[in-house]
Amino acid sequence: MNYLVGMVVGYLSLLKASGQQQGGLLENLGEGIQQQIRPIKQPIDESIAYVGSAGCAHVKKLLGVAYEQLEGVREPDLNSLSLYYKTRANSKVYNISVAAEAITRARAFNPQRNLIIFVHGFIDDPTKDSFKNISEAFLRSGETSVLALDGSPLIHWLYLRATTYVQFMGRKLGEVLAAMVKGGTDPASIHLIGHSLGSHISGFAGKTLLKLTGRRPGRLTALDPAGPCFTHVDADLRVKDTDADYVDCIHSDSGVYGMKDPIGHADYFPNGGNSQPGCLLQTCSHSRSWLYFAESLLERTSFAARRCASWEHFKKDQCDDEVRLDMVF
Protein backbone atom coordinates (compact mmCIF):
# COMPACT_ATOMS: atom_id res chain seq x y z
CA MET A 1 0.00 0.00 0.00
CA ASN A 2 1.41 3.38 -1.01
CA TYR A 3 1.09 6.20 1.49
CA LEU A 4 0.90 9.86 0.63
CA VAL A 5 3.81 11.69 2.24
CA GLY A 6 3.61 15.39 2.94
CA MET A 7 0.74 17.82 3.15
CA VAL A 8 -1.87 18.81 0.64
CA VAL A 9 -2.91 22.41 1.00
CA GLY A 10 -6.09 23.78 -0.53
CA TYR A 11 -7.21 27.01 -2.19
CA LEU A 12 -10.56 27.63 -0.51
CA SER A 13 -13.48 29.89 -1.21
CA LEU A 14 -14.64 31.55 1.99
CA LEU A 15 -17.96 32.61 0.54
CA LYS A 16 -18.88 29.07 -0.47
CA ALA A 17 -17.53 27.46 2.68
CA SER A 18 -19.36 29.72 5.07
CA GLY A 19 -22.44 30.17 2.96
CA GLN A 20 -22.49 33.84 3.94
CA GLN A 21 -21.75 37.06 2.09
CA GLN A 22 -19.06 39.22 3.67
CA GLY A 23 -19.23 42.97 3.45
CA GLY A 24 -19.96 46.18 5.28
CA LEU A 25 -18.23 48.07 8.02
CA LEU A 26 -18.90 45.58 10.83
CA GLU A 27 -17.67 42.64 8.80
CA ASN A 28 -14.50 44.46 7.76
CA LEU A 29 -13.89 45.56 11.33
CA GLY A 30 -14.35 42.01 12.59
CA GLU A 31 -11.92 40.67 10.01
CA GLY A 32 -9.38 43.30 11.02
CA ILE A 33 -9.65 42.29 14.66
CA GLN A 34 -9.22 38.64 13.71
CA GLN A 35 -6.05 39.42 11.75
CA GLN A 36 -4.59 41.22 14.77
CA ILE A 37 -5.51 38.50 17.26
CA ARG A 38 -4.58 35.37 15.28
CA PRO A 39 -0.77 35.71 15.49
CA ILE A 40 -1.06 35.93 19.29
CA LYS A 41 -3.99 33.61 19.91
CA GLN A 42 -2.95 30.61 17.78
CA PRO A 43 0.38 29.83 19.58
CA ILE A 44 -1.34 30.17 22.97
CA ASP A 45 -4.16 27.82 21.95
CA GLU A 46 -1.68 25.31 20.55
CA SER A 47 0.42 25.41 23.74
CA ILE A 48 -2.61 24.76 25.94
CA ALA A 49 -3.72 21.87 23.71
CA TYR A 50 -0.20 20.40 23.67
CA VAL A 51 0.20 20.46 27.45
CA GLY A 52 -3.30 19.12 28.02
CA SER A 53 -2.81 16.29 25.54
CA ALA A 54 0.63 15.31 26.83
CA GLY A 55 -0.66 14.85 30.39
CA CYS A 56 -3.97 13.31 29.43
CA ALA A 57 -3.12 9.65 30.12
CA HIS A 58 -1.81 10.45 33.61
CA VAL A 59 -4.84 12.55 34.53
CA LYS A 60 -7.26 9.89 33.29
CA LYS A 61 -5.60 7.29 35.50
CA LEU A 62 -5.86 9.61 38.50
CA LEU A 63 -9.56 10.05 37.78
CA GLY A 64 -10.11 6.33 37.24
CA VAL A 65 -11.31 6.70 33.65
CA ALA A 66 -8.41 5.10 31.75
CA TYR A 67 -9.40 2.29 29.38
CA GLU A 68 -7.69 -0.44 31.40
CA GLN A 69 -9.53 0.76 34.52
CA LEU A 70 -12.95 0.55 32.85
CA GLU A 71 -12.62 -2.51 30.62
CA GLY A 72 -14.64 -5.41 31.98
CA VAL A 73 -15.39 -3.51 35.19
CA ARG A 74 -17.18 -0.21 34.55
CA GLU A 75 -17.74 -0.21 30.83
CA PRO A 76 -20.18 2.36 29.40
CA ASP A 77 -23.72 1.31 28.55
CA LEU A 78 -23.32 0.70 24.84
CA ASN A 79 -27.01 -0.15 24.49
CA SER A 80 -27.65 3.57 24.97
CA LEU A 81 -26.25 4.10 21.46
CA SER A 82 -28.46 4.27 18.39
CA LEU A 83 -28.16 4.56 14.63
CA TYR A 84 -30.06 7.15 12.62
CA TYR A 85 -31.13 5.90 9.19
CA LYS A 86 -31.96 8.76 6.85
CA THR A 87 -33.39 8.44 3.35
CA ARG A 88 -34.89 10.98 0.96
CA ALA A 89 -38.36 10.07 2.21
CA ASN A 90 -37.94 9.77 5.98
CA SER A 91 -35.71 9.01 8.94
CA LYS A 92 -35.74 6.22 11.49
CA VAL A 93 -33.78 5.56 14.66
CA TYR A 94 -32.69 2.05 15.67
CA ASN A 95 -31.14 0.95 18.92
CA ILE A 96 -27.66 -0.28 18.17
CA SER A 97 -28.45 -3.74 19.54
CA VAL A 98 -30.87 -4.40 16.65
CA ALA A 99 -29.50 -1.99 14.06
CA ALA A 100 -27.68 -4.46 11.80
CA GLU A 101 -30.75 -6.61 11.16
CA ALA A 102 -33.25 -3.73 11.10
CA ILE A 103 -31.30 -1.62 8.62
CA THR A 104 -30.65 -4.44 6.17
CA ARG A 105 -34.39 -5.20 6.19
CA ALA A 106 -35.40 -1.57 5.64
CA ARG A 107 -37.25 -0.98 2.37
CA ALA A 108 -34.88 1.75 1.20
CA PHE A 109 -31.72 -0.22 2.00
CA ASN A 110 -29.79 -1.18 -1.11
CA PRO A 111 -26.79 -3.48 -0.57
CA GLN A 112 -25.46 -2.43 -3.98
CA ARG A 113 -25.02 1.17 -2.82
CA ASN A 114 -22.40 2.66 -0.53
CA LEU A 115 -22.98 2.18 3.20
CA ILE A 116 -22.27 5.65 4.58
CA ILE A 117 -21.98 6.13 8.35
CA PHE A 118 -21.33 9.52 9.97
CA VAL A 119 -19.99 9.65 13.53
CA HIS A 120 -20.24 12.99 15.34
CA GLY A 121 -17.88 14.50 17.86
CA PHE A 122 -17.98 15.77 21.44
CA ILE A 123 -21.15 17.66 22.48
CA ASP A 124 -22.87 16.87 19.19
CA ASP A 125 -25.56 14.51 17.92
CA PRO A 126 -27.27 13.58 14.62
CA THR A 127 -29.96 16.23 15.07
CA LYS A 128 -27.38 19.02 14.82
CA ASP A 129 -25.97 20.83 11.79
CA SER A 130 -23.04 18.50 11.15
CA PHE A 131 -25.13 15.48 10.16
CA LYS A 132 -27.87 17.62 8.63
CA ASN A 133 -25.42 19.22 6.20
CA ILE A 134 -23.53 16.04 5.37
CA SER A 135 -26.61 13.82 4.96
CA GLU A 136 -28.39 16.37 2.76
CA ALA A 137 -25.30 16.72 0.60
CA PHE A 138 -25.03 12.96 0.14
CA LEU A 139 -28.71 12.59 -0.70
CA ARG A 140 -28.56 15.48 -3.16
CA SER A 141 -25.49 13.97 -4.81
CA GLY A 142 -27.30 10.72 -5.57
CA GLU A 143 -27.01 8.47 -2.50
CA THR A 144 -30.24 6.88 -1.31
CA SER A 145 -29.51 6.63 2.42
CA VAL A 146 -27.07 7.81 5.09
CA LEU A 147 -26.50 6.48 8.61
CA ALA A 148 -25.30 8.29 11.71
CA LEU A 149 -24.18 6.90 15.05
CA ASP A 150 -25.74 8.77 17.96
CA GLY A 151 -23.12 8.64 20.69
CA SER A 152 -24.41 11.65 22.61
CA PRO A 153 -25.47 9.63 25.69
CA LEU A 154 -21.80 8.78 26.24
CA ILE A 155 -19.74 11.67 24.84
CA HIS A 156 -21.82 14.73 25.59
CA TRP A 157 -20.06 15.52 28.87
CA LEU A 158 -16.67 15.02 30.55
CA TYR A 159 -14.16 15.12 27.70
CA LEU A 160 -11.48 13.03 29.42
CA ARG A 161 -13.91 10.18 30.01
CA ALA A 162 -15.27 10.59 26.49
CA THR A 163 -11.80 10.06 25.02
CA THR A 164 -11.75 6.65 26.69
CA TYR A 165 -15.29 5.78 25.69
CA VAL A 166 -14.43 6.13 22.00
CA GLN A 167 -12.69 2.74 22.09
CA PHE A 168 -15.78 0.99 23.46
CA MET A 169 -18.06 2.84 21.04
CA GLY A 170 -15.88 2.11 18.03
CA ARG A 171 -15.72 -1.54 18.95
CA LYS A 172 -19.52 -1.72 19.15
CA LEU A 173 -19.97 0.02 15.82
CA GLY A 174 -17.42 -2.34 14.30
CA GLU A 175 -19.43 -5.31 15.56
CA VAL A 176 -22.54 -3.92 13.86
CA LEU A 177 -20.63 -3.50 10.61
CA ALA A 178 -19.23 -7.02 10.91
CA ALA A 179 -22.76 -8.39 11.31
CA MET A 180 -23.85 -6.52 8.18
CA VAL A 181 -20.83 -7.82 6.27
CA LYS A 182 -21.64 -11.38 7.31
CA GLY A 183 -25.16 -10.69 6.06
CA GLY A 184 -23.94 -9.76 2.60
CA THR A 185 -22.70 -6.15 2.75
CA ASP A 186 -19.47 -5.63 0.84
CA PRO A 187 -16.80 -4.12 3.16
CA ALA A 188 -15.48 -2.12 0.21
CA SER A 189 -18.80 -0.23 0.09
CA ILE A 190 -18.50 0.97 3.70
CA HIS A 191 -17.57 4.65 4.08
CA LEU A 192 -17.02 5.82 7.66
CA ILE A 193 -16.98 9.59 8.21
CA GLY A 194 -16.02 10.91 11.63
CA HIS A 195 -15.70 14.42 12.99
CA SER A 196 -13.40 15.14 15.94
CA LEU A 197 -13.87 12.31 18.47
CA GLY A 198 -15.98 10.61 15.82
CA SER A 199 -12.85 10.17 13.71
CA HIS A 200 -11.30 8.00 16.40
CA ILE A 201 -14.55 6.09 16.96
CA SER A 202 -14.54 5.38 13.23
CA GLY A 203 -10.93 4.25 13.49
CA PHE A 204 -11.75 1.73 16.21
CA ALA A 205 -14.74 0.56 14.18
CA GLY A 206 -12.40 -0.12 11.28
CA LYS A 207 -9.97 -1.99 13.53
CA THR A 208 -12.80 -4.13 14.89
CA LEU A 209 -14.20 -4.92 11.46
CA LEU A 210 -10.76 -6.11 10.36
CA LYS A 211 -10.41 -8.26 13.48
CA LEU A 212 -13.83 -9.89 13.06
CA THR A 213 -13.97 -10.34 9.28
CA GLY A 214 -10.43 -9.98 7.98
CA ARG A 215 -11.61 -7.06 5.82
CA ARG A 216 -11.29 -3.31 6.19
CA PRO A 217 -13.91 -0.68 5.39
CA GLY A 218 -13.45 0.70 1.90
CA ARG A 219 -12.99 4.26 3.10
CA LEU A 220 -12.63 6.34 6.23
CA THR A 221 -12.81 10.13 6.16
CA ALA A 222 -11.51 11.87 9.28
CA LEU A 223 -12.79 15.43 9.66
CA ASP A 224 -10.38 17.33 11.91
CA PRO A 225 -9.77 14.30 14.18
CA ALA A 226 -9.64 15.30 17.85
CA GLY A 227 -6.15 16.22 19.01
CA PRO A 228 -6.34 16.55 22.82
CA CYS A 229 -5.58 13.13 24.37
CA PHE A 230 -4.77 11.63 20.96
CA THR A 231 -1.71 13.54 19.80
CA HIS A 232 0.84 11.76 22.02
CA VAL A 233 -0.44 8.19 21.90
CA ASP A 234 0.46 5.05 19.99
CA ALA A 235 -1.15 4.97 16.55
CA ASP A 236 -3.17 1.90 17.57
CA LEU A 237 -4.99 4.10 20.11
CA ARG A 238 -6.32 6.56 17.53
CA VAL A 239 -7.45 6.71 13.92
CA LYS A 240 -4.68 5.74 11.49
CA ASP A 241 -4.09 4.92 7.85
CA THR A 242 -4.66 1.17 8.19
CA ASP A 243 -8.20 1.51 9.58
CA ALA A 244 -9.63 1.41 6.04
CA ASP A 245 -8.47 0.66 2.53
CA TYR A 246 -8.31 4.42 1.97
CA VAL A 247 -8.12 7.05 4.71
CA ASP A 248 -8.42 10.74 3.92
CA CYS A 249 -8.44 13.63 6.36
CA ILE A 250 -9.29 17.33 6.46
CA HIS A 251 -7.37 19.33 9.07
CA SER A 252 -9.18 22.62 9.79
CA ASP A 253 -8.04 23.35 13.37
CA SER A 254 -4.75 21.47 13.53
CA GLY A 255 -2.73 21.81 16.70
CA VAL A 256 -5.66 22.93 18.87
CA TYR A 257 -8.89 20.89 18.79
CA GLY A 258 -7.64 18.87 15.84
CA MET A 259 -4.57 16.73 15.21
CA LYS A 260 -1.61 18.46 13.61
CA ASP A 261 0.21 15.58 11.91
CA PRO A 262 -0.91 13.67 8.80
CA ILE A 263 -2.73 10.44 9.69
CA GLY A 264 -4.08 9.15 6.39
CA HIS A 265 -3.23 8.36 2.80
CA ALA A 266 -4.25 11.90 1.87
CA ASP A 267 -4.28 14.77 4.37
CA TYR A 268 -5.69 18.15 3.38
CA PHE A 269 -4.77 21.35 5.24
CA PRO A 270 -7.11 24.09 3.91
CA ASN A 271 -5.79 27.57 4.64
CA GLY A 272 -2.81 26.06 6.41
CA GLY A 273 -4.97 23.75 8.48
CA ASN A 274 -6.04 26.21 11.19
CA SER A 275 -7.62 29.61 11.86
CA GLN A 276 -10.12 29.34 9.04
CA PRO A 277 -11.33 32.53 7.30
CA GLY A 278 -14.32 34.04 9.05
CA CYS A 279 -13.57 32.24 12.33
CA LEU A 280 -12.42 33.99 15.49
CA LEU A 281 -12.95 31.00 17.79
CA GLN A 282 -11.16 27.69 17.38
CA THR A 283 -14.48 25.84 17.68
CA CYS A 284 -15.53 27.54 14.46
CA SER A 285 -12.39 26.39 12.65
CA HIS A 286 -12.90 22.89 14.07
CA SER A 287 -16.40 22.74 12.56
CA ARG A 288 -15.29 23.99 9.16
CA SER A 289 -13.99 20.51 8.30
CA TRP A 290 -17.50 19.08 8.00
CA LEU A 291 -18.72 22.19 6.18
CA TYR A 292 -15.92 21.84 3.62
CA PHE A 293 -16.64 18.14 3.30
CA ALA A 294 -20.37 18.70 2.69
CA GLU A 295 -19.67 21.34 0.06
CA SER A 296 -17.16 19.12 -1.72
CA LEU A 297 -19.94 16.60 -2.32
CA LEU A 298 -21.94 19.20 -4.25
CA GLU A 299 -19.27 21.48 -5.72
CA ARG A 300 -16.67 19.17 -7.18
CA THR A 301 -14.26 21.92 -8.22
CA SER A 302 -14.53 24.17 -5.16
CA PHE A 303 -11.36 22.97 -3.46
CA ALA A 304 -8.29 22.76 -5.67
CA ALA A 305 -5.31 21.35 -3.77
CA ARG A 306 -1.59 20.88 -4.33
CA ARG A 307 0.96 18.75 -2.52
CA CYS A 308 3.44 20.99 -0.70
CA ALA A 309 5.98 20.91 2.14
CA SER A 310 4.20 23.57 4.19
CA TRP A 311 1.64 26.35 4.06
CA GLU A 312 4.42 28.94 3.81
CA HIS A 313 5.92 27.14 0.82
CA PHE A 314 2.48 26.99 -0.73
CA LYS A 315 1.84 30.73 -0.36
CA LYS A 316 5.20 31.46 -2.01
CA ASP A 317 4.52 29.00 -4.83
CA GLN A 318 7.53 26.95 -3.81
CA CYS A 319 5.97 23.50 -3.99
CA ASP A 320 8.18 20.85 -5.56
CA ASP A 321 5.30 18.62 -6.54
CA GLU A 322 3.30 19.87 -9.52
CA VAL A 323 0.48 17.42 -8.91
CA ARG A 324 -2.83 19.22 -8.43
CA LEU A 325 -6.09 17.63 -7.41
CA ASP A 326 -9.51 18.54 -6.12
CA MET A 327 -10.40 17.92 -2.50
CA VAL A 328 -13.43 15.96 -3.66
CA PHE A 329 -15.22 13.24 -1.75
Residues with Cβ within 8 Å of residue 231, at least 6 apart in sequence: 49, 50, 53, 54, 259, 260, 261
Helix runs in the chain, H state only: 14-18, 24-54, 56-63, 67-70, 99-105, 129-140, 152-155, 159-182, 197-213, 282-298, 311-315
Which whole-number Å values give the CA distances from 208 to 188, 197, 202, 327, in the listed order? Answer: 15, 17, 10, 28
Taking the alpha carbons of 266, 42, 157, 133 in that order, is the dihedral positive or negative? Answer: negative
Q: What CA dihedral angle connects 289, 291, 293 and 296, to 10 degrees? A: -140
Active-site residue, selected from the candidate residues 124, 125, 224, 241: 224
Q: Respond yes or no: is residue 196 known to be catalytic.
A: yes
> Most distant CA pair in the chain: distance in Å?
60
Active-site residue, selected from the candidate residues 135, 152, 196, 287: 196
How would DSSP label each residue in 31-62? HHHHHHHHHHHHHHHHHHHHHHHHTHHHHHHH
Q: Respond yes or no: is residue 251 known to be catalytic.
A: no
Q: Respond yes or no: is residue 224 known to be catalytic.
A: yes
Note every long-range contact of 312-318, with CB atoms under 8 Å and residues 24 or more positions apart, other chains counting.
314/9
**Can you tell me the distance from the alpha carbon of 169 to that of 167, in angstroms, rounded to the nearest whole number?**
5
Active-site residue, selected from the candidate residues 286, 289, 296, 302: 286
Q: Which residues are catalytic?
A: 196, 224, 286
